[in-house]
Amino acid sequence: MPTPESFPIEKIFVPTKQKKAIKPETVAEVAESIMEIGQQEPISIRLDGDRLVLVEGLHRLEACKALGETTILGVLVPAELAQHKPQLAERPEVEAERIKMARLKQLRLEKEAAEASTAALKGAGATQAPRARPTKGARDNPKASPGRTAKSKPRTLSDWITQQKGSGGRY
């Protein structure tokens, strides 16, 4: 393991993703500990071009800043090791929580899909053209016999008059 060195605090860049994980209570506890017994565990940093990037030790770094320190003990780690640091997901309780949340998300998505499908079926029935009330004519009645609905064109005037009389029309 490399030996700890002293690094200037203002030169250490903290990634935005890590900044979101700051817990003020933890920073206060670490600051108290540093005041009483000093910094026991060095932070891990890596080189990124010409700047130093924090890998591990966010609360220790913030505690030293809060105490007004200008330097902090740290270990320079290669970028390859920084990428492979142990993640929280390796702890069993964190992994169980992640699985539970993934299952809940899946159930929510299934429920939303079922609701959308039901709404689409109801919507499809509502979007059909409303049925017009059938008129009293035989042509509009789909159950009428074909002989009554299919009127042939009369060939002569007397055929036309006979047709009009049969259908109740005026001539």
Q: For 136-158, what is the HEC assignment?
A: CCHHHCCCCCHHHHCCCCCCCHH
For residue 91, report the phi and psi dihedrals to the nearest 5 degrees: -75, 135
Smallest CA-to-CA distance from 14 within 74, 55, 44 is with: 55
Give the single-character DSSP code of 102: H
Six token digits for residue 95 = 């992994």
For residue 10, report the phi and psi dihedrals to the nearest 5 degrees: -70, -15
Give per-residue pLDDT as tens, 68-94.
Answer: 999 999 999 887 665 545 444 456 667
pLDDT of residue 89: 44
* pLDDT tier for residue 2 given thresholds of 50, 70 and 90: confident
Give per-residue pLDDT as tens, 3-29.
Answer: 888 899 999 999 888 888 889 999 999
Average pLDDT over residues 34-55: 89
pLDDT of residue 149: 53
* pLDDT tier for residue 150 given thresholds of 50, 70 and 90: low
